[in-house]
Amino acid sequence: MARIVKELIRAQAPNLTPAERQLADVLLRDYPAAGLQSVTRIAEAGKVSTPTVIRLARKLGFDGFTELQVALREEVSARMRTPIVKREAWPESAGATHPLHRFAEAVFDNLDETVARLDPVEFSAIAALLADPARALTLCGGRITRSNADYFFNHLQIIRPKVALLPPSTNVWPQYLLDIGPTSVVVLFDIRRYETELARLASAAKSEGATLVLFTDQWGSPIAESADHVVNASVEVPSSWDSTLALNLVIEALVAEVQALIWPDARDRIERLEALFQSARIFRKPV
């Protein structure tokens, strides 16, 4: 799994000394920019000694502060990659010899990393939120992740009421914001290159008191700073485009869990829907 510095900091939080914890708070407050300053300036910002900065870097698994900064720069670079740069970053001979197997290996790694990164407690909290019938759900994706949002919406809308999907046109989003309030849950999908309109939507939803659930990549959309719940999925594959298969793994697991939490109400809705399908003759009759 690629080393994401903020994840290492949070994982090590229980093992940090008070001075290290104070420094870690400074690094996370303006992440990743705060960690790209000189060791002296970082120490001054955290009101700690320079040896404390070096000790924190080593406690996070780096040889020293320089290696920690290299990791931060790689994160910044990865976040900014264009489709052409992403494609050229993968060596042609990496991993398996056949392109299909090479791509599949990258996807399998993404799935493993995503599951390892997602705390089961956080997963259960998101599922309980989405299963709460008192909460209206609003979903929205970006240019690439719109299909993920639509897939999630389609399943949630079958098993529970009060689920909406925002259309691609941002001009009508304010109309949907009229119905968003303190009991609302807004589910957003935002992976690199993070979209300004989604950030504005997140800000508007939070200002209305909504609970925000964010699905993003391993580095994290800027929206993560204001989100109540965050799912970080690994997305890198040997392609110009990021893979969203790991996002869909979590989506499908959440659909299954939400359905289990609200059964038999979900069963009743599905039975009613099947009856409507039959009356409309949408599907072939079972043999």
| β-sheet with 163-165: strand ranges across | 163-165, 137-140, 185-190, 211-217, 229-233
Q: Which domain holds residue 271?
A: 112-278
> Which residue, of 35, 65, 80, is where some domain finishes?
80
94 found inside a domain? no
Domain count of the fold of the chain: 2
- Quickly state the pLDDT bin for 133 (edges 50, 70, 90): very high
Q: Indicate if 29 and 128 belong to the same structural domain.
A: no
* Lowest-confidence pick of 68-72, 148-152, 176-180: 68-72
> Which residue, of 80, 101, 122, is where some domain finishes?
80
How does 172-200 read in b/e, with b if 16+ C-beta sit within 10 Å?
ebeebbeebeeebbbbbbbbbbbbeebbe
pLDDT digit string, tens, across residues 144-163:
999 999 999 999 999 999 99
Say which CATH number the domain at 12 has.
1.10.10.10
Say which CATH number the domain at 270 has.
3.40.50.10490
Q: Indicate if 194 and 272 belong to the same structural domain.
A: yes
Q: Indicate if 133 and 19 belong to the same structural domain.
A: no
Q: Indicate if 67 and 135 belong to the same structural domain.
A: no
User: Nearest CA to 88 among 77, 75, 104?
Assistant: 77
- Quickly state the pLDDT bin for 80 (edges 50, 70, 90): confident
Q: Indicate if 129 and 264 belong to the same structural domain.
A: yes
Question: Whole-structure pTM over 0.75, yes or no?
Answer: yes
